[in-house]
Structure 1
Amino acid sequence: MTDTRPPTTPPTTPPASTAPAAIQAPFSILFVDDDEMSRNHFARAVGNDYRVHLAQNPDEAMALLRELGPDIAVLVTDFRMPGRDGGHLLREVGDAYPQIVRILVTAYADKDMLLQTFNTGDLFRILEKPLRVESVREVLRQAVARYAERETRQQRLLAMDETLAFLAHELNTPLAAISLFARSVENDVAQEYDPQRQREIGLAATSMLNNAQYCLTLISSFWATVHKSGGPQSATGSAVREVKATRLVATLLDSYPFAGAQREWVDVEARGDFVVHAMPNCVALVLSSLMSNALRALEGCRSPSLRVEVVCEPEPEIRLHDNGPGIAPEVKARLLLDPVTTHAGRGGHGMGMIFCNRIMQSFGGGLRIESTLGEGTTVTMRFPGLRGRVQGGAREEASDGHAA
């Protein structure tokens, strides 16, 4: 590898994967070449910018990938090697690890043959020997950017998958309740009713209506937000609109199918505002589910109250405070780990909070809960701050939310 820069002191970081873990670059490069000098030169040239793993042949490279596959962003391989050549390795890696960006290194004499032999659409770049340090660094920078773009797209698609599963759950719960009450009404239709039974049937019919309206509103809201944010493009990140947190809350209050006096229970307090950079339809579904849980917890309370707060300091958050009965510690500790529900009789599955937390985590946020029996519950939706992820996210306890 040719270096056109003035001589510098070689880096003290070991060139291979044994580098200290105290400060590590976020991406790893796998370099494959049967020539030991080439491997060492490559590691010295880019070892300060990336974690570098070295292999001397395709078999050794595949063994490393089986161990480190999820950590490897870019594969750089020489073409001419004893035994299986770089072309075989590229095809095998493309099949087993399609997310890895692949770069081929070859001598000028091989270039025409390679262009005819390989589908260059599967390759990110072909680099000619002798390698020049600045050229390699620029190509690696572009390759890592391509890898990060793919990972971001994949995360958005996973978030959409989680959201659709969550939407299916949210619809299934009220639909199960509708089915339960409808069957009860059907069984009683031929009977004579006393006043108490007539009242029970009336309440069942009201519940069916409320649940049906909730389903219709949820579907309508989801459809509208997806199309307003660019339709299918929103899943690829090419058209994600900027929506303020206060606007999301206001839209939810305008469209939510409140029953009876429930809307009078809700108060909003904005202490600052922030842009929700995640897909707003996903966030709106989480917010809707949390409000539904809180309103359900307030049923039967003497003076029900639900306060929704929007805060931007020290980190952007949306908080829902209710003065309901609270959550028992043993239930709270399991909510994001197991399907726990206190509403099985009304179609609850206990998966709602798990889906909510997964959706929030998919874009760097999360949920937090504080609850005291007899006093109420606060559920906090945490959003990424200026550093891209919520502070202390890895240390937070996974034990938040109302039972769904």
Structure 2
Amino acid sequence: MRTDLRQPRLTVLYVDDEEMACKYFARAAGAEYEVLLAQGADQAIEMLRNDSGRTAVLVTDFRMPGRNGADLLRQVAAEYPQIVRILVTAYADKDMLLQTVNSGEVFRILEKPLGLQAVRDVLALARERHRERQSRHQRLTAIDETLAFLAHELNTPLAAIANFARGVESRSSAEYDPQRQAEIGQAAAVMHSNAQYCLAVISSFLQSVRGNGERPLTSENDRDITAGSLIMALLDSYPFTGPQRNWVEVELHGDFIVHTLPNCVSLVLSSLLNNGLRALTDVPKPSLRFRVVAQPDPVICISDNGPGIPPDVMERLLVDPVTTHAAAGGNGLGMIFCNRVMQSFGGGIRIESIPGAGTTVTLEFPQTKNRMHSNRSGQ
């Protein structure tokens, strides 16, 4: 009995209103890929909704009747972020191309008339990108399941400790002399407070991971992971809703390598992005900007034009669990976590905010792998 162990062919959806272009693409790619054909944006979306996640790569022409390719790319980026997106165009529309590339909606651009080798080369790159995304998704799923298990296992004993401490604190007043009562009550209160803090940390971290299920986590052994690549990976996979992706811009004034803990820096960036988007919910013209600066000191700045942070909250933001989003489930631990991550490898966080005019959070990185920055938590 013969068993075929080859991997199934990747599925590529090609969208073009010209029948001859569709046939040419199918011939060019059909030997290596399963090719699906659609003659418009609406038909392509209908096919994606019916294929149960089979499509790995979308290749679309730009000029089509009705909705153009850029509009299709935007919808696919929002609804099917796992699909690698490629734009085909015969028009030297520089502004359109720049806007599409800068918005993160396209992986590569192919020019018409399509060349056989160009199609194969770009699809090979897209196949590798898809495999990377699949591998990353599998790792994140494993991390998510592990965290869920740990949270479940720790939650019950911590809750029992908290309840026991509260009971000891309440009963001590009836059984001991006043001094002993005070000592036991204080110890029980500290125990209860610490248990509650641990419960809050577990809940906050688990919610962060689950709320950003496509968050980029990179291997600690990877080399030359740059600040810019971490941001672009985050924007490529963050689960934006509605028009949120259009609020975000990226400026690169040089770039630099994140030598230490890129996984944790990714988590910090994701947390800050989440905070910024939440702050912009009711802003008429929301804007959130990532700015990477390499010299003289390497930093990443995240700025929004939201309502700003009240001065009394600013004073405690990096040292106390204080939040302006308690009604939405915020517990104020996110910024403390972000600050401690940055401090762990010699960096720091600086926050500037003007009520009514927005907030800028600056992540400061050491110049070299061994250089340590001063502790800035008091700023």
Same fold, judged at TM 0.5 (above): no
Q: Tell me which structure has the larger Cα radius of gyration.
A: 1
TM range, normalised to the smaller chain?
Answer: 0.3 to 0.5
- Tell me: higher relative CO, structure 1 or 2? Use CA pairs within 8 A at least 6 residues apart: 1
So what's the TM-score if we normalise by structure 1? 0.42
